[in-house]
Amino acid sequence: MEGYDFSIEMHVRDYECDIQGIVNNGVYQNYLEHVRHMYLKQVGVDFAALAQQGINLVVVRAELDYKFPLETGDSFVVGLKMKRESRLKFAFYQDIYRLPDKRLIMNAKIIGTALNQRGRPELPPVMDKLLSD
């Protein structure tokens, strides 16, 4: 997808839907998180290695704008763009589009930071470098 740093195509599974037959609102956060993790892995940020060093990447704010629901069997794509928000925070701008019609399903802005061994915000060098490129 053009304009994004990363994107992944996914599919709705039956158990992700509620009694109304649409994807449960909380499931969208799982989709978004999966794409963030896959992106960070692709660019060389290893969650497990950071955690072993006592550095934890955490979400501090999530803004989700639901536009239209997904249903069982729908295919969709999640696009992601990452930007620095401040010295200690970064944001993932993520959009979900249904396929094949590319109908906008959701816009999201997820704000994160990294916490050091003392639980204080501090971006590790790998994240600082990623956000400086």
Active-site residue set: 18
In the chain, the N- to C-terminal Cα span, in Å, equals 20
DSSP 3-state percent helix, strand, coil across the chain (nearest 5): 25, 40, 35
CB–CB of 21/71 below 8 Å? yes
Q: How does strand 75-84 pair with strand 6-11?
A: antiparallel
Where residue 49 falls (left for φ over 0; alpha for ψ -120 to 50; beta otherwise) is alpha
What are the structure tokens assigned to 127, written together? 């994240």
Quote the distance between the C-alpha of residue 81 and its chain's center: 9
